[in-house]
Amino acid sequence: MGLFTWSEKPSSALQGGGVIGPDERLPWAQTGLMGVQHVIAMFGSTVLAPILMGFDPNLAVLMSGIGTLIFFLITGGKVPSYLGSSFAFIGVVIAATGYGGQGANANIGLALGGIIACGAVYTLVGLLVQAIGTGWIEKLMPPVVTGSVVAIIGLNLATVPIKNMAANNFEAWMQAMTFTCVALVAVFTRGMLQRLLILLGLIVASLLYAAFTNGLGWGKPVDMSGVIAAPWLGLPSLHTPVFSANAMLLIVPVVIILVAENLGHIKAVTAMTGRNIDQYMGRAFIGDGIATMVSGAAGGTGVTTYAE
């Protein structure tokens, strides 16, 4: 497979559970729609993680995008993963900084130094895999380990929507309606439409919400004035890392989880598509490690592969 080259497949290839391989792509219009859906899918986690650690969510999203581009360049566009905020850092960052859970993290510099150190170790692991092969890392982290790590993280995140359930009956019903819209798209559509179930379900649910609130006055109406008034362009507020041995010793071990996640995603893509992408494992580790260092150097969260 050449770098940055994909063979185009029609959207009809998705019929009957078909998949698009790492060396393939849909027509650009459908690819763009899938990209929009991926943004929606990743946004909640990428914004929530920095809030829980007292980081700037705007900066976290920016560094997430930059990190994804770095990852994309290093892997030659052959590993289909997005780099978003990692929840694995939350506990150790809170412990290292003494963050109380409200407002900005006053000791964010300590966390950033640890995140950069973690990214550096992660990059070294990737260089080692690139130099001597993948066999040793696969023996250290067999599928039962990587699968368990990914499953545990997913199950841990499952409590987030429960904690953020609506405060009144109308909004609770709207949440249920949103779930129903997504489910109906999944059940009653096929091919490309079925693959866009998140995007289409949210569009339908949003239109229904606007009709019920702005039209019938049943709940809080949709108000776009805040979006219109907000500045569309601006410079991020950067932060300076502080390298503390204690903080780094707490945060660096997170690299074990990041490696397990990335390895698990590579194996999952291989299993789903039938295309062995183990040859890109070292690059994937290096890309994620460098992206984590760049994010930490600017004041963003540590990043990890999202394989939605």
> Computed from CA positions of residues 72, 73, 76, 77, in that sequence, does the dihedral angle turn out positive or negative?
positive
| Partners of 303 in the β-ladder | 85
What pLDDT is attached to residue 2? 52
Q: Is 294 part of a structural domain of the chain?
A: yes
What pLDDT is attached to residue 18? 83
Range of the domain at 113: 24-148+240-306
Q: Is 82 part of a structural domain of the chain?
A: yes
What pLDDT is attached to residue 293? 98
Which regions of 18-77 does DSSP assign to beta strands (E)? 24-25
User: Phi and psi (nearest 5°) for 306?
Assistant: -105, 125
Cβ of 157: how many Cβ atoms within 10 Å? 14
What pLDDT is attached to residue 61? 95
What pLDDT is attached to residue 276? 92
> Residue 135 and residue 276: Cα distance in Å, rounded?
14
Q: Is 105 part of a structural domain of the chain?
A: yes
What pLDDT is attached to residue 166? 66
Q: Is 61 part of a structural domain of the chain?
A: yes
Q: Is 161 part of a structural domain of the chain?
A: no
**For the chain, how many structural domains are there in total?**
1
Q: Is 165 part of a structural domain of the chain?
A: no
Tokens of 79: 């590993």
Instruction: Report the chain (308 residues): mean pLDDT per 10 consecutive residues.
Output: 74 82 90 92 90 95 96 93 93 95 94 98 97 92 83 74 72 90 93 92 94 92 89 88 97 95 91 91 98 97 89
> Residue 213 and residue 304: Cα distance in Å, rounded?
38
Q: Is 128 part of a structural domain of the chain?
A: yes
Q: Is 176 part of a structural domain of the chain?
A: no
Q: What predicted TM-score, i.e. pTM, was given to this entire model?
A: 0.88
Cβ density class 201-225: b for 16+ within 10 Å, e for less? bbebbeeebeebbeeeeebeeeeee
> How many residues are given for the chain?
308
